[in-house]
Chains A and B, each alone.
Chain A
Amino acid sequence: MTRDQQPSYPLIHLHRVEKVFETPAGQFTALHPIDLDVDAGEFVAVMGASGSGKSTLINMITGIDRPTSGEVWVAGTPIHTLGEGKLAAWRGRNAGIVFQFFQLLPMLSVVENVMLPMDFCGVYPAGERRGRALDLLRQFDVQSQADKLPAELSGGQQQRAAIARALATGAPLLVADEPTGNLDSKTAAHVMDLFEALVDGGKTIVMVTHDPALARRARRLVTLADGAIVDPAIATFDG
């Protein structure tokens, strides 16, 4: 789906979403009630100091965590109402996640890591999954590492493989938490190039970063401070 073909309602709709954690030291409000809409095809960077609530925010979007109150709608689904099982299944098909530390399963080869979400979600016929996984790896120029274990790859290669994995089920949304935090600047720039290409191809990307230079590569900036959005549209870049 290209950007011109995106539907008019937001892909991501957060309404009065609040998150409070119970800790031994007492209650901690990671997110004050916030509202946020992200349209399909957007490339959004989420910035903020440590403890500002960035990771909590994207955990709400991916369903990794549940809001204490409020509503979270993603791709037309009220994910805040889903049980764990349905949430996992929804997440596999609708939200590809890229982690800072890659999080490739160490005992599976690179291509098997990419195949895993297809297997869990039951998408694509079993006989086609390996071919599709290799295609994705080729797109990110790591197909030659397909049968190696993650530990045998460089950081950049692992992250590219992780991005391929995040796209394995054809999810429309890509969520990345500090995707370049463990990479050198050159590799980080290359990853950003990949993200831009994906957005041009119709993907929606929400990326957490603390690096202003990387944030400028996105088309919109959301800044968080002390669990609140400072200004949702303060940095809308021409894209």
Chain B
Amino acid sequence: MGNPRWRKVAGDLRGSKARTALVVLSIGLGATAIGLILAARSIITSEVDRQFMDITPPSAVLVTTPLDPGIADQVRELPGVAAVDTRELQAARIRDADGDWHNLRLYVPATYEQFDVSEIRPESGAWPPSDGEILLERSSIDVLGLDPGDDIAIQGPGGEQLDVELTGSVHDLFQISTQFLGEAYAYTTPATLARLDSDGRMEEIAIVAADEPYTRESAREVTVQARDDVIEPAGHTVISTLVRDPGVHNMAWVVDPLLLLLGILGVLALLLATALVVSTVSALVARQTRDIGVMKALGGRRSQLVVMYLSLAAVYGLVALVIAIPAGAIGAWFLSRFALQLINFDAGGVELSPGVIAIQVAVGIVLPVAAAAVPVLRGTGISVREAIASYGTTTTGHGAVARAVERIRGVPRPVALALRNTFRRGTRLTLTLVTLTLAGAIFISVLSLRDSLIATLDDVAGYWAYDVEVNFEEPQDIDAVTAAAADIGGVTGAEGWAVKNGFYIRPDGTEHENIDIYGPPADSTFVRPTLVEGRWVEGPGEIAVNADFTREEPAVAIGDTIPLRIEGALLELEVVGEVTSQLTGPSVYLAYAGLAGPTGEQGQASRAVFGIDREGAEAQDAAADALEQELRALGFPVSSVTTHAELRSMTGDLFALLITFLAVMAVLLAVVGGLNLMGTMTLNVLERTREIGIMRSIGATDGAVLQVIMIEGLVIGVLAWVLAGVLSVPLGLFMGNAIGDAFLRNPLTHAFSAWGLFGWLAISLVIAALATFLPARHASRLTIRETIGYE
């Protein structure tokens, strides 16, 4: 590169390695984020689709009472059915490595030799299990802390204990990971299952529709066909159905908001990078004003100079891409691996997607060049005379703000001088403020989003005001349960709830797949619904629906009478209110009498909820153990026990992902924003080296010079903080709504992070002080001759 023009560009890059590194880092961060997100999304989407379809997922799953032999074959022979598989299911409890009990679904597939639907694949150990052995789903092994070879205790609903050996693990991809659902999954033989003496055994029948198997319409059709034409005519009961989003894994929705959040933050990081490029190139061009004048004096045309400086910006981008392209691919692999394994999928490989690389190149080069265009065009437009005459002393801005500041009285002289200096150069101040404000607003918004997620989690968890929930294999006498609980120390209250699954029947006769139906007492103190519209149920014949239900059935409105089919009974119910989502899908509420009566279970409850006199997870665990022991000892068939802390924890794990990502991004953005301030302030000071010399020549001490410049930096830091605080409110709302829609399909409970606000103030002040101290100290140590002769 012997051409002197390009040697100059190379010299500018080398001339300030710190500045070059700062800009390259910032652009690289943004380009990496874009590449990482796009590639991760591509990997995750393709792997989830490929792996999920590979197991032949069902169009619908029906949970029924145990089926007679041959029922599955009859369903298989239905004209709209392509494939059927069944497995027996028993709700039980399993003890983990620490001795704590967890809810368990114990499965016995029809055969281990071949799976036509929802394939279960061996991971390690024995396959198939022998009598007296179980296999655990791999996500369950991690949560329970067990290892193949361990002796495991399983407890049936009647309290009978089964000692089995854990001999291996499987991958049952269709299941929701134990980490999120809180339930473990085990697989065994019919003989082993038979040793659990239980009347509550169920059967899962998974069906693949023949035509368009993964549409809701097809799924609903085969569900109704199987139920109405085969299963119920044979005298069996369909307890529940699963037809949510056929062909889409139950946990795929967890990843989407993660990617959305990263997408938003990636775009914001790019905006920051753009602002940084504008600021840096602006400062560079300003610092080279004299050189620009000289080059024009030597014959350089403006177009030639523009190309030189834009090439500089392009080189920033190119160097950033050298880092960003591989970093994005590797980061995408890590992120996709993390996300896929989180939802119990296998990790994919590293991919270098040409499409993603092309976008990164466009972002990494086009964006910096476009950002640099404005300051370059402005800077190269200066006349030769102005350029050569003005460098070293800044021209005084005299806008309205600067004039207003000059009228401020009553402040110490250094502060007054610093205030005026701050507003002298409007464009430079604006650029610095824009970058720092954006970084600060993002930082505060990210922490506010974190607080919003926690507030939302608290609201959701606060819906259920009980401490322990016990579910029975079949409805039990409420009075007997509450009397038993009264003997347990620490239990302050007990209620019996009717809990069912049912089907909403639309006006056209089609059905919504099963919904959870809760029937607490009308005067229950253990449920605190948040009303969106209308009122809570007060008596039989009334129903309150949640936001998930109304989103899936938008035609249902307050005041409508809707039919609900529950275990063969058809109820006509008036919709009196809508409540917020509990993040568990469509749910409805009836008064206890309105649910138990029509289903012939008046005075009975399939769920009992309890309050205790102490707070905390440990107290709840202890109470849960005591209740389970006492109720089992009295012969109550306990199928599952869950504490409020466990319920909160399941949802909290999902939130924790987002919260962790947000915290990491907040730190990264603080670094980028802080580096930008540092770079810009440094250049601000260096440009005024001659002024500093003049100040010292008329009597200003080193300390006085330092004081003025540092106060200026602090003023900018405080100004940016105020603006960031204001901007963070709408930005936080936007991010909260976007994440709420994507993650929860409901708005978040918005919260503003005071920690974020004052944390950013501290960061701004520290960075402003550091960014001005070093160059100011350097300038204050130069001799007057050096500074006045500075060019």
Binding site for B on A (CB under 8 A): 24, 59, 62, 64-65, 84-85, 88-89, 91-93, 97, 99, 101, 103, 105-109, 112-113, 115-117, 119-121, 126, 130, 165, 169
Contact = CB atoms under 8 A, between A and B. Distances in A.
Given A84-B302, A85-B302, A108 B8 contact: yes
A116 B298 contact: yes
B291 A88 contact: no
Interface in B1-50: 2-5, 7-8, 11-12, 14-15
Contacts of A117: 298-299
A106 B4 CA distance: 12
Interface in B256-313: 290-291, 294-304
26 contacts: A24-B398, A65-B383, A84-B302, A88-B296, A89-B301, A91-B298, A103-B297, A105-B8, A105-B294, A105-B295, A108-B7, A108-B11, A109-B7, A113-B4, A116-B8, A116-B295, A116-B298, A117-B298, A117-B299, A119-B4, A119-B5, A120-B5, A120-B300, A120-B301, A130-B2, A169-B299
Contacts of A126: 2-3
B302 A88 contact: yes
A119 B297 CA distance: 13
A190 B392 CA distance: 30
Given A59-B385, A65-B385, A85 B303 contact: yes
A88 B297 CA distance: 7
B704 to A, nearest CB: 27
Contacts of B304: 120
Contact of B298 (A24, A65, A97): A97
B4 A103 contact: no
Contacts of B5: 116, 119-120
Nearest to B13: A107
Given A59-B385, A97-B297, A107 B12 contact: yes
Contacts of A165: 298
B302 A107 contact: no
B15 A107 contact: yes
A64 B385 contact: yes
A177 B18 CA distance: 36
Contacts of B383: 64-65, 84
B388 A99 contact: yes
Contacts of B212: none
Q: Which 5 residue pairs of A and B lie closest in terms of their CB atoms, listed nearest first?
A: A92-B299, A107-B11, A112-B4, A120-B299, A120-B300
Nearest to B11: A107
Interface in B765-788: none
A50 to B, nearest CB: 14
Contacts of B4: 108, 112-113, 115-116, 119
Contacts of A88: 296, 299-302
Contacts of A99: 294, 388
Contacts of B12: 107
B791 interface: yes
A58 to B, nearest CB: 11
Given A99-B294, A116-B300, 5 more contacts: A24-B398, A85-B302, A88-B299, A116-B298, A117-B299
A165 B295 CA distance: 11
A93 B299 CA distance: 7
Contacts of B7: 107-109, 112
A222 B416 CA distance: 48
B788 to A, nearest CB: 12
B384 interface: yes
A89 B296 CA distance: 9
Contacts, number: 86
Contacts of A106: 291
Nearest to A113: B4
Nearest to A109: B7
Contact of B301 (A64, A65, A85, A105): A85
Main secondary structure of the interface of A (DSSP, over half): helix
- Bin the interface of chain B by size: 20 to 34
Contacts of B303: 85
B350 to A, nearest CB: 40
A130 B294 CA distance: 20
Given A85-B303, A105-B291, A92 B8 contact: no
Contacts of B299: 88-89, 91-93, 117, 120-121, 169
B292 to A, nearest CB: 10
Nearest to B294: A103
A115 B8 CA distance: 12
A103 B384 contact: no
Contacts of B2: 126, 130
A113 B7 CA distance: 10
A107 B8 CA distance: 6
Nearest to B15: A107
A99 B11 CA distance: 23
A1 B302 CA distance: 31
A88 B299 CA distance: 4
Contacts of A89: 299, 301
A132 B755 CA distance: 66
Contacts of A101: 791
A126 B294 CA distance: 21
Most buried by B among A64, A91, A106, A121: A64
A145 B177 CA distance: 73
Interface in B185-236: none
B297 A91 contact: yes
A90 to B, nearest CB: 8
A190 B291 CA distance: 27
B790 to A, nearest CB: 11
Nearest to B10: A107
Contacts of A62: 297
B384 A64 contact: yes
A213 B252 CA distance: 88
A165 B297 CA distance: 11
Interface string B235-252: 000000000000000000
Contacts of A97: 297-298
Nearest to A130: B2
Contacts of A109: 7
Nearest to B14: A107
A116 B291 CA distance: 12
A6 to B, nearest CB: 23
B399 to A, nearest CB: 14
A63 to B, nearest CB: 8
A117 B5 CA distance: 10
A91 B7 CA distance: 23
Interface in B366-411: 383-385, 388, 398
A158 to B, nearest CB: 12
Contacts of B295: 105, 116, 120
A62 B293 CA distance: 13
B791 A64 contact: no
Residue with the highest number of chain B CB atoms closer than 10 Å, among A91, A116, A117: A116
A120 B8 contact: no
B298 A120 contact: yes
A64 B385 CA distance: 6
Contacts of A92: 298-300
Nearest to A116: B4
Contacts of B384: 64-65
A92 B8 CA distance: 18
B189 to A, nearest CB: 80
A166 to B, nearest CB: 9
A226 to B, nearest CB: 20
Contacts of A116: 4-5, 8, 295, 298, 300
Contacts of A121: 299
A46 to B, nearest CB: 17
Q: Which of B12, B295, B384 has the most chain A CB atoms inside 10 A of its CB? A: B384
Nearest to B789: A101
A119 B3 contact: yes
A10 to B, nearest CB: 23
A33 B13 CA distance: 46
B85 to A, nearest CB: 74
Contacts of A65: 383-385
